[in-house]
A and B are shown apart, each in its own frame.
Chain A
Amino acid sequence: MDQPVRQPAEPSGPMEYDPASVAGKQPPIADETDLLVIGAGPAGLAAALAASNRGVRVTLIDENPVPFETMGEEIPLHFGCRMGTVMANRNAMLEALLESTPELADALEAGVDVRLGTVAWGLFPQRPTAAWIDGCVAGLADEDRAYLLRFKQVIVASGSRDMGLAFPGWERPGVMGASAAYRLAMTYDALSTRVAVVMGSSTAALQIANELSDKGVRIAAVIEQGETVTGDAALLAHLVAGGTQVLTRHVIERAEGATGSGEVEAVTVVAVDANGRHWKDELKRLACDTVLLGIATVSAIELLEAAGCDTAFIPERGGHVARIDEAQRTSLPFILAAGDCTGTWAAKSVAPSIARREGRIAAAAALSALGVNDHEVAYEAPVVPDTAYTDPADERCAWVRASVIEAVGEPYVCQCEEVTAAEILLVRPPRYIGWDSKKDDEHPHTLAQLAGDGPPNPDIVKRLTRACMGPCQGRRCREQVAALMSIGSGTELAAIPLATFRSPVRPLPLRQLAVLEEVPELGKHWDSWFGMASQWVPFWRPVPLYTAAGRERGTAVASE
């Protein structure tokens, strides 16, 4: 592909384009493809297969198998240290992945460039204000490398994760996301859990509980803060028949372990009223080694949002998703989305065929954009969410009220930065500053005051309290923080702006990012901010009348 040196928009008169700028310094592009598919779940695999053998290059990447160490840091899912020892053996994981996902072999057979253990940490389309790299590139990383792949179209099928929910003891090993357990059990047969309780009763949570039950995990209880179970009755009945207790209007009061930070050995559940207040005399202890957080499925939109796709809180899709049209296209014409990252609903969580259909529709739209004659592509009806759904905003806020706000003691909502709900609601500075906040008590500053007339912005709360700012990149707390802000400010959750995502959307070591190639020109001028000698002339020297033509050039001068 041509890589023309970028030229200024309107060259005029004798000029040299600013040598200290990014112009002409774009990094080498390691590889190119026509269609990049991110995520080899049902949607991504269906998309890659549908686009294969159509005369375009198709590249399918998937982050699995994720390095054991990364999983231990609750990335990309909340694994709660329940990875069996086999997970440390990368080759065994790879074999298990290929065995449990036979479509990967189909994709290879069909000529798809399949790259496993490869994560996309950013999508970087050329745009006004970021135009120095031509076309669209994806930042990719495998075990040791980081490199850029140029693409023409991308289908993001990055799946979903589980909303975190704080309660005393939720930091203990054994508290984990329901879909993390599903991943370990179904993809790798490596879930080390014997007895679990499930928080949440959506169809998605009940479906996972049934699958795990079939794998030999005893599901001791389904715990639901609401008055009734929200998910599929048949799935619930199947669990109950196997001995599962159903505890509605209950939350976990605490998870207990043998030692202060030991693994979960039991949970104490408490009855709650409609406002989430605990009935202290109605406590019940359940022995279990695992708590499955299944209160809400969260679409994994970090790549899409960071790339600049339009997003919105769409209740029938379960929360914040990238806006898509009937052809699965996002607001950016080279980015499509399919699968759970475009939203989840009950029917979709039990039928992977829906995600596959989304993948095929996205593939057809991408092929069309690539100029492939699509007359042989079978028509697929657009995918629409269930018309009946439980409002995810109400549900999330109710869980946060009953579990987090009403908690005995103050569990950390943000485990990485150790921030409590009260600290978020009162916008307290973090404890490591050692700030004596007497004055804060005299002049309380509230979430509402920070925002003025607008809705409170999570990015401000992040800046001031450090919540969501830790190494798990807010995966376990960002939805809780948004719900707290909704409750604390009396603003509807859907109106709370989505906290921004930033690349790299996966934590990556300095030395790994450093592997990315540079052109030699990029190394020049680092010592001088904007390369302007005049900016740093000490003030006690005379300042002559300034002209652009007469400016000082070519002098190396350090900036401050």
Chain B
Amino acid sequence: MTAQQRQTDHPGPHNGVPKGATAAAGAAVIIVGGGVTGLSAGWWLARAGVDVLVLDAGLIGWGASGRNGGGCSHHHSPLFLEEQRLWPMMDELLGYPTEFRPNRIRIALDEHQFLLYRRALDNGAVHGLRSDILDPRQVRELVPFAGDNVFGGYFYHFGGHANPHRTLQAYAWAMQDHGGRLLQHTNVTGFTTNGEHVTGVNTNRGHIACDHLVLAAGLHTGELAAQLGVDVPLASARAEMIVTEPLPPMNIGGVDGNGLYGRQTLRGNLAYGGGPHEWIDLADANRQRPHSTPLQCSIAARVAGLFPKVAHARVIRSWAGFIENTPDGRPIIDQPGQFDNLTLATLSSVGFGLSPASGHAIRDLVIDGRCSFADLSSFALSRFANLEPDWRALQGWLPLASQPASQPASQDSLAPLGT
């Protein structure tokens, strides 16, 4: 038994051709990666009338897209205004529910947090967006779960939160409604090129031709780009979240702070994450599903601190996710010069909330060669032109050593059981 076979529940790349699979017809645009970024781009392209095909090695949304906090408040990003413009319309545009709710409250339990959280107010003000500073009493009025430990807070009249699972499926269904295609269990093994032109992708279903290629494959974007000779510096990490049983819904569910990100879902569950991450080896991510650890207790402690009135709420699940990061943590949405029909996209671990806008940006790059609504120069690959080859080591972003204890038992290793 190999390690890969052991993970029977890991819906990652399949080596075999799926049962009943036929070679797929070519597409004008192939998007590798069925996460929120790839599917949003697919939806934007399909609604523009482009023949688009999204490929996923396993099931859509199995990476970070299905495992995040659902926040939609990225005031530092050039995609911010488009993010804010689109979210209130997404249910209608997609034709399927996203559970988006506007606005956000952030609670500080000490002065340090209060100062840090002010930056969202300042950034919002640059765009003319309102934020209110809240005293502890006001926080407790707006957030019934908050307690006597509140130092202060902010009510940002922008941003919000949505349900990542539902949004992801909405992108996929909406794309298909516009004639876009989705192929899951389709593992990309390589590319065909002709000079500066990508001509298609090789998959476990055979070769699929395309006129334009978008790589938006999360963790795997770097290794896929490397096959085209394009260096996309990425490192992978594991992060964790917890969720409680449903509680009575607060008027504003988009409440976080105390070092956490997350929300009260429309169902009433508290879904929060945060805390330290663990750097991992990409090869291991293909073999193991992301496991949560006792870090869930530390997250629980901080949720109990954020919402002392509901510290009795029971945690019913935890999860972990693998996410990719660029060296500076900013996204890459760019068209490398080596090719005339290749678009790269990684949102560097902060992609869900920005996905309505990132998909729009990718659509613009693919169709028009430039983004119509934002200056994407800060997302350019060229900012890493001087990056050291051993940047992961220099930044201390290397996987931790583990004991080689998790080898599978095999019949060969059966110890004699007495005589």
| Residues in chain A within 8 A of chain B (CB atoms) | 6-23, 25, 27, 122, 124-137, 139, 146, 148, 305-306, 308, 310-312, 325-327, 329-334, 361, 364-365, 368-369, 374-380, 417, 429-430, 432-433, 435, 439, 443, 445, 451-454, 457, 460, 463-464, 466, 469-471, 473, 497-498, 500, 502-504, 507-511, 513-516, 518, 522, 525-527, 529-530, 532, 534-540, 543-549, 551, 556-560
Contacts and interface: CB of A to CB of B under 8 A. Distances in A.
26 contacts: A7-B401, A10-B393, A17-B396, A21-B279, A128-B402, A129-B399, A134-B403, A308-B289, A310-B5, A327-B417, A330-B409, A439-B96, A464-B165, A470-B245, A510-B314, A532-B328, A534-B328, A536-B119, A539-B76, A539-B375, A556-B116, A557-B116, A558-B113, A558-B117, A560-B71, A560-B120
Contacts of B74: 560
B6 interface: yes
A540 to B, nearest CB: 7
A470 B317 CA distance: 10
A333 B409 contact: yes
B276 A522 contact: yes
A464 B97 CA distance: 11
B277 A15 contact: no
B245 A332 contact: no
A369 B403 contact: no
A133 to B, nearest CB: 6
Given A8-B396, A527-B116, A535-B329, 4 more contacts: A137-B294, A146-B297, A452-B59, A549-B388
Nearest to A460: B59
Interface in B277-320: 277-281, 284-285, 287-298, 300-304, 310-320
B119 A473 contact: no
Contact of B300 (A21, A514, A539): A514
B78 interface: yes
Between A18, A433, A498, the greatest number of chain B beta carbons within 10 A of the residue's beta carbon is seen for A18
A375 B406 contact: no
Interface string B73-108: 111111010000000000000011101000000000
Contact of B393 (A11, A137, A443): A11
Interface in B382-419: 383-388, 390-391, 393-403, 405-409, 411, 413-419
Q: Number of contact residues on B: which range applies?
A: 35 or more
Contact of B97 (A15, A433, A503): A433
B397 A329 contact: no
B325 A530 contact: yes
B25 interface: no
Nearest to A524: B276
Given A127-B288, A332-B409, A365-B417, A510 B313 contact: yes
Closest 7 CB pairs of A and B: A535-B329, A526-B259, A453-B18, A514-B301, A452-B184, A516-B297, A131-B402
Contacts of A327: 414-415, 417
A379 B409 contact: no
Contact of B266 (A137, A433, A535): A433
Contacts of B304: 510-511, 514
A129 B280 contact: yes
Contacts, number: 395
Given A551-B395, A560-B74, A443 B277 contact: no
A504 B390 contact: no
Nearest to B173: A445
A509 B314 contact: yes
Given A463-B66, A503-B296, A507-B245, A21 B278 contact: yes
A6 B395 contact: no
A374 B303 CA distance: 49
B233 to A, nearest CB: 9
Contacts of B141: none
Contacts of A513: 296-297, 300-301, 315
A556 B118 CA distance: 13
A128 B399 contact: yes
Contacts of B209: none
A539 B393 contact: no
Contact of B409 (A23, A325, A368, A504): A325
Contacts of B386: 545-547
Contact of B259 (A130, A135, A527, A534): A527
A379 B318 CA distance: 42
B183 interface: yes
B266 A432 contact: yes
A306 B400 CA distance: 22
A417 B19 CA distance: 34
B245 A131 contact: no
